[in-house]
Amino acid sequence: MAVIPETGAHAPVPAQPLTAPNASGSLVFGLAFAQFGVMAALLTPVMVTLALRVAQIVPEADRGTALGQVLSLGAVLAMIANPVIGGLSDRTVSRFGRRRPWLLGGIVVALAGLAVIALGDSVATLMLGWALAQIGGNASLTAVTASIPDLVPDRQRARVSGVVGMMMSLSVIAGSGLADAFSSHLALAFLVPGLLGLAGVITLCAVMKDRPATPGSFAPYSLAEFGRSFWVSPRRHPDFAWNFAGRFLVFVGISCVTSYQAYFLMDRLGYDGDEVASKMFVGTLFMTVAVVAGSVLGGQLSDRSGRRKPYVLGSSLVIAVGLALIATAHSFPVFVTALVVFGFGEGLYLSVDVALAAAVLPDPEHTAKDMGVLNIGNALPQSLVPIVAPGLLAIGGGSGNYGALFLFGGVACVLGALAVQLIRTVK
């Protein structure tokens, strides 16, 4: 893929925008399908299959630490990949456009990483495979996310954001179903979701409009530019900073569920490894219905009213209530009920998340880079939660204080809701 070379030009030369008066149905489908497939490839391991793969390789006493090592490395690399690849995507002058090469290249690398996990027989091999999967998958996700402000007009962004956002939960239920279907052939439970990601990305590439970056519109790419890939000045762009803080804190709460519900089912509710995939499928099915309901409702109401912040506030508080209910659950029916509340709040949040983010971006020519910086707020909790979780789980002695873990996530969501209310330029 071609990236703008060092030209010596420093003054931006804006390209013609691609945003049409209305986003077509085929574009919305392509964005949703690509998000669905790539998220299935990445979240199925986080939710189910990586925990089961680790359990196949290491003794029971070491599985929590080993899983934390694998997830943490992948999350750190995802955090780095988002803004760096976003910045390179903004600069790409390929005749195929500036998003397509990263969409396709990313999912191919992710699929290779999933194959390494499927065939590996050590924690080190799993870490290598998950690193490749996270770098590649996040390259694709960065391009998908940047395509929304690129191609979708503001008055449709909450609805499209809601449709794309609900794909995360739909991908989880699909991945849980595949994990259950291939529980006796775990390698396929990694590879089939990866192939879904490839199909989704190919579909989006076929229906989207894309343009290469305009030569001369960016300063030369240097070590300083690499450093700036991770930075948007909070002094110059305070609303961007508050949105980043809010997103980070809400995803801390979400990551408590995505990373540890498999072990919650094992340790607190007493299910063995063979039962976890099927129980998670049932729980995720109910949660997904709630996510879809929240996404559709939130997107419609937010676009209709032109307001974003009240829906972020309400959704974050609902997620916090769901986490509090999970913290007190001691039976599977109560756990599922809690997931429904959690899922409805998550759907509301995802319906306005990208729309709010697009409204506070500093520069439309740096869409992917700046969205990549915001996406650190998604990726960093995936790394930090597994680091913090063992200490929370050990409160009171032992290693199973899931109440402390999920209440910690609930408090983070409340703080995230309050941070977003400090944004001034968005209602």
Q: Which residue, among 202, 207, 195, has the nearest Cα to 25 in the 3D structure?
A: 207
Q: Is residue 3 classed as helix, strand or coil in its secondary structure?
A: strand
pLDDT, tens digit, 9 for 90 and up, residues 308-325? 888 888 999 999 999 999
Does residue 181 sit in helix, strand or coil? helix
CA 316, 318, 322 angle in degrees (round to 5)? Answer: 115
Per-residue confidence at 248, pLDDT binned at 50, 70, 90? very high
Average pLDDT, the chain: 84
* Residue 224 zone, left/alpha/beta (φ > 0; ψ -120 to 50; rest): alpha
Share of the chain above pLDDT 70, in %: 90
CA distance 196 to 205: 14
Q: In the prediction, which pLDDT does 60 show?
A: 76
What domains does the chain contain, in order, with CATH numbers? Answer: 25-210+232-420 (1.20.1250.20)
State the virtual CA torsion across 292, 296, 298, 304 in degrees, nearest 10.
180
pLDDT of 14 reads: 43
Rounded to whole angstroms, how far apart are CA atoms 400 and 148? 41
**Based on the number of CB atoms within 10 Å of its own CB, is 50 exposed (0-12), middle (13-18) or buried (19 or more)?**
buried
CA distance 143 to 371: 9
pLDDT at 12: 42
What's the chain's length in residues? 427
* pLDDT surpassing 90 at residue 140: yes
φ/ψ region of 4 (left if φ > 0, alpha if ψ in -120 to 50, else beta) reads beta
Model confidence at 344, in pLDDT bands (50, 70, 90)?
A: very high
CA distance 328 to 5: 56
Q: What confidence score (pLDDT) does residue 87 get?
A: 82
> In this model, does residue 328 exceed pLDDT 80?
yes
The torsion defined by the Cα of 26, 31, 37 and 39, in degrees rounded to 10, comes to -160
Tens digit of pLDDT for each residue in 3-58?
444 444 444 444 444 555 677 889 999 999 999 999 999 988 877 788 888 888 88
> Which pTM was predicted?
0.71
Question: In degrees rounded to 5, what are phi and psi of residue 132?
Answer: -60, -45
Ranking 130-139, 155-164, 193-202 by mean pLDDT, the lowest is: 155-164
Contact (CB, 8 A) for 180 and 278: yes
Q: How many CA atoms lie within 13 A of 248 on its CB side?
A: 16
Tell me how far CA of residue 137 lies from CA of 41, 114, 252, in angstroms.
Answer: 8, 10, 20
Residue 173 pairs in a beta bridge with: none
Q: What are the structure tokens assigned to 326, written together?
A: 């999970």
Two tokens at 272? 């063995």
Question: Which of 41-50, 287-296, 340-349 has maximum average pLDDT?
Answer: 340-349
CA–CA dist 3, 87 (Å, integer): 10
Q: pLDDT-based confidence at 397, cuts 50/70/90? A: confident
Question: Following DSSP, what letter does each residue of 76-103 receive, concatenated?
Answer: HHHHHHHHHHHHHHHHB--TT-SSHHHH
Buried b (16+ CB within 10 A) or exposed e, 378-401: bbbbbbbbbebbeebbeeeeeebb
φ/ψ (deg, to 5) at 92:
-70, 130
Is the pLDDT at 88 greater than 80? The verdict is yes
| Band of residue 201 on the pLDDT scale cut at 50, 70, 90 | very high
Burial (Cβ within 10 Å: 0-12, 13-18, ≥19) of residue 206:
exposed
**pLDDT greater at residue 191 or residue 263:** 191
